[in-house]
Structure formats: C-alpha cells, structure tokens
Structure 1
Amino acid sequence: MMRPARRGGTLLLAIALAWGMVVRVDAAPLPRVASATLCGDQYVLALADPAQIAVLSPQATDPRLSLLAKDAAAYPRRPNAAETYLDAGVDVLITNAWTDHTTARLLERFGVRVVRIPTLNDMEAIAAMTRDIGRALGHPERGDALAARFVARVEALRLAAPGRDRLSLYLRPGGGTAAEGAFVATLMEAAGLRNQATEAGLTGWTSWNLERFIAAPPDLIVTSFFDSPHAGVGRAFGNHPAFTRRAERIDRIEVPGQTWICGSWILEEAAAFLHERLDRLNAAEPRP
C-alpha cells in the first residue's frame, strides 16, 4: 500500500529503499504492482517499470497463453492470494472484474488499490481501459501511447477490410465460437469478414454444431488453440475426422491464441496478424 511521503529528499529515499519502493526523482513514488490474471499480466508487463513488478499470475510464462511470456520469466509467479500480495508490499493489483471478489475486497480493506478489468468487446472501451491502467501504474504517457497504437492498428484493419466480405467462422478445438458481442467477432467484423455465427442468430461466446459445419461450411475458418498439446473431450470437435476432412478444403487462418486471450491491448497483435494473413490469402487468389 502507498506509504506517506516525508519531508527531506535523503529521508524519503532512505524510507523508500527500506520498504522496497520504486522512486522517481521529483515525482511521487511509483506503486508496487501485481497481476492476478493473464490479462492483467499483459498490462503490467507492457506498462510498469521492471522494479515495480512484484508478482504475476501462474500462467504468465505460458507461451501459448501469454503474449509476453518471455518478459514474464523475470518475475515471481504466484497463485491469487491476499497474503501473497500483502507480503510483497503491493500497492496496486490488476485483476479481472469477474473473478475472486473476496480477495479483491480484502486487499481494498488493507489499502491496496484493485483495478478490475471488465469483459470488453468495444475497441474504444479497450483503449480507455488501457489509458486507465497506465494512470493506475503511474505511467499515463505509456498508457496513452499503447492505447493510441492499439486504436491505429485496429483502424488500419478496418480501413483495409481485407476480409472482402467472406463468410467466416471462428472455431476453437472444442467447437467454441464467437458471435456478435465477443471481441473476436468484433475484430473479424473490423477485418471485413462476415460472421457465420452472428448471421445464424447467435451472440457472444457460444458453440457451433459439427453437423451444421459439415452441411454448410463457411468460406474461411479462423481458428485458435488448435496447436495446443492438451488432448481430451475439449478437442472432440477439432479432432473429429468429419471436421478435419471438411476443413482441408476450406481456407483457414490460425490466429495465435495469445494474441486475443482477452479483450485488451493485445488485440492489436491479432489485428495485425489477421491483416497480414488476409492480404496473403487475397494475393494467392486468381484475379477475376
């Protein structure tokens, strides 16, 4: 939690060093920060000074899930627990708005600022959240710059519209899909793709029927996490011979899952990837 400022530069520095705080000359001390979730990890790693980072989530170094997995390797990873953050002298915790409310409320009672990342599908709302987190971590200029870059990349995708109105379907190995109201669908729409799940009347994060896929396949499938090494029921859709045979005859873009694991600034990477792969697909198509 934030410690009270004292008069006198020498005394302030001594106190800050004793408490392990990060200090800027002629400015307020920077907060010690922690992340409880994958989405929070991406914000903390992108916006905080290395010396500010106290704890990241246990999944922060998983390269299939974390865009900044290599950067995360330098920091402690711990399960989400109030005592962990208090022992680390954390001033600010970044977490998801829908998880572990008990821990968040307990930390707030001890003076820790908890920043909750909501489920965001609107690109402007994601940009605003990025700016807010930059301010919470003591780096408003970094938050503003990251938000601006994010908006620019998504807008470049929207202006180019390389999807060319293709009927497309997002799929995960278990048959999960994204329709209107999910950030994956929002990004697909920005790319100029028609979303088969949305046109079927579905909304949000939902699922797709294998029989429907076989009977009425899209022009393009956009997939993620098909390269996961984990087997089991969660891959029943993607491993089904009927799917694999049909999918072989359909254009496909496998978007790295870590580029859109949550609705945050990392979607700029998914936008750039979609843009590049759709441009490549367009170049390979014969001209009319």
Structure 2
Amino acid sequence: MCTDRLVLALVDRDRVAAVSRFAADPVASTVAAQAAGLAVTTGEVEDILARAPDLVVLGAYNAATTAPMLRQLGIQVHVLAPGNGIAETLAAIRALARDLGSEAAGEALVAAIEAGLAAQPQPERRLRAAIYQAGGWSAGSGTTADDLLRAVGMDNVAAEAGLVGFASLPLETLVAAHPDLIVVESMGEEAPSIAGEVLRHPALAAGGARRVTVPMRLWACPDAALIEAAALIAGAGR
C-alpha cells in the first residue's frame, strides 16, 4: 500500500507497470483515483517477471522472500523502509526518489511535508494526548504518530507510560493519565467487533477528554497525507 502511494506521488502514472490491490481501495489509499485503471499485480514473482519491470518497489514486510529471488533474476529491487518517525519517513522518501530517478520530486514532497507540519497551529498550553486503536493498541515513542503529536504541541501519554513503538496501552492506564485528547484511528466503517468495544468504553467518555478520529490512511504511510492527519489533531486541540 505504501509503495503504491509513494511511487504514484513521485513518478508519472505512465511509468507504473502495476500496483498492488490496495492502491485503488479508498479506505486505505490516498491515490485511489490515480491508481484506477492501472494493472494490478498479485505480488508473486512469476507475475512480476511477466511485466518486465526495471525496478520493483517492495514494502519491508513482504521483501524477505521476494526480494532475494528477484535480485537473483537480475531485477533491481527497492525495499521501502518502514519510517519509524518523521525523520526516517523523509529519509525513506529521498531514498526511493533516488532509485526512481525522481530526486526533484522527492525533495518537493519532503519540503511540502515539512512545511505542512510546521504550519500547524499550536495549542495555547501544551496538551497531553493518546493514540488509541481497536484492541487497546497505541503508538509510543519511536513512531510517526508520536512525532506528529509533538509537532502540534502535544505530549504522548503512551510514551510517558513507557511504550515504545506500537504496543498495548491498558484502558486503566489511559484513563488514569487523564489525557486532554484521545486520537482514535479509524479504518472506515468497521463492523462491530470485540476489539473495537474498548473504543466505546464509558470510562473514556467519563474522563472528559476531547476525541478526534483520524482515518488510518492518513498516517499509515510516509507521504503528504501526514499533513492532513496533523491538521485534524491540531484542530481538535484548539
């Protein structure tokens, strides 16, 4: 999904031989309109070879087995770094842009993200916020979400509680922290689930924290959608 989004942000559509099945999904993708009509690859090596690409861009999580096979067959592979934090995110954009021969587009995208985040309004006083997802998962230190909170003048309750990366934040810990804002990640109109029940727990409302919903697609990948995610959070903190 993230490779689709970044490649389509950095090169002309006619240079893209195929995208993944996620590219045209409006719930997960910010480039669904751009991806419409493009060929869709299964991601299998045989399917990739049939398209005779000059470069294959893989996500870090599906590269372990696919990348070595493609390289043995003489195909250039770029593995997109996960981007744990905004600095790593911008570095990943620059690295991909170099392999695509689109350095100017990469620098323009990096500059747009930096300017968009810097332009977000700051709260009158520093707020404390928590990211909360279905199942009680949260984003601690070393994550892009944590960097976004700090960029808009907020401290991360999960990081204060010692969470690093994505980990479970017990509801009791969250409520006892008395956050000013709870940022709920949404994947769309989810069906009722046991994991999602924690987001509707009355204890969350009883604490008086403001609440804002951020669609997953806005901060799932290292691209300009981060600006919109930051704007939603900053707006909720005003």
- When normalised by structure 1's length, the TM-score is 0.75
2:209 matched to 1:246? no
Query: Computing the radius of gyration over CA atoms, which structure comes out larger, 1 or 2?
Result: 1
- Out of 21, 39, 50, which is 2:2 matched to? 39
Question: Aligned to 1:168, what secondary structure does the other structure show?
Answer: strand
Distance in 2 separating the partners of 1:271 and 1:214: 23
Task: Indicate if the aligned counterparts of 2:140 and 2:156 stay in contact, CA closer than 8 A.
Answer: yes
Q: How does 1:108-187 map to 2 (within 5 A)?
A: 108-157=71-120, 160-162=121-123, 164-187=125-148
**What does residue 258 of structure 1 align with?**
217
Q: Give 5+ residue unaligned stretches, structure 1.
A: 1-37, 283-288
Task: Determine what percentage of the aligned residue pairs are the same residue.
Answer: 32
* Structure 1 residue 173 displacement after superposition: 2.1
RMSD: 2.2
Distance in 2 separating the partners of 1:250 and 1:269: 22
Distance in 1 separating the partners of 2:24 and 2:135: 24
1:113-141 residue CA offsets vs partner (Å, 9 max, x unmatched): 11111222332332232122222223221
2:237 matched to 1:274? no
Question: Aligned to 1:230, what secondary structure does the other structure show?
Answer: coil
**What does residue 51 of structure 1 align with?**
14
**What does residue 33 of structure 1 align with?**
none
User: Structure 1 residues 80 and 162, CA, compared in 2 at 3 Å: closer, same or farther?
Assistant: farther
- When normalised by structure 2's length, the TM-score is 0.89
Higher RCO structure (Cα 8 Å, ≥6 apart): 2
Question: Aligned to 1:44, what secondary structure does the other structure show?
Answer: helix
1:89-125 residue CA offsets vs partner (Å, 9 max, x unmatched): 1111111223241111111122221111122233233
**Matched residue pairs, number?**
238
1:221-278 residue CA offsets vs partner (Å, 9 max, x unmatched): 11111643233233232244544x437x321121221110134443233223334x24
- The one-letter code matched in structure 1 to 2:71 is E
Distance in 2 separating the partners of 1:74 and 1:40: 17
Distance in 1 separating the partners of 2:74 and 2:124: 48
Distance in 1 separating the partners of 2:62 and 2:178: 36
Distance in 2 separating the partners of 1:259 and 1:162: 21
- The one-letter code matched in structure 2 to 1:261 is A
Q: Give 5+ residue unaligned stretches, structure 2.
A: none
User: Structure 1 residues 174 and 43, CA, compared in 2 at 3 Å: closer, same or farther?
Assistant: same
Task: Indicate if the aligned counterparts of 2:182 and 2:210 stay in contact, CA closer than 8 A.
Answer: yes
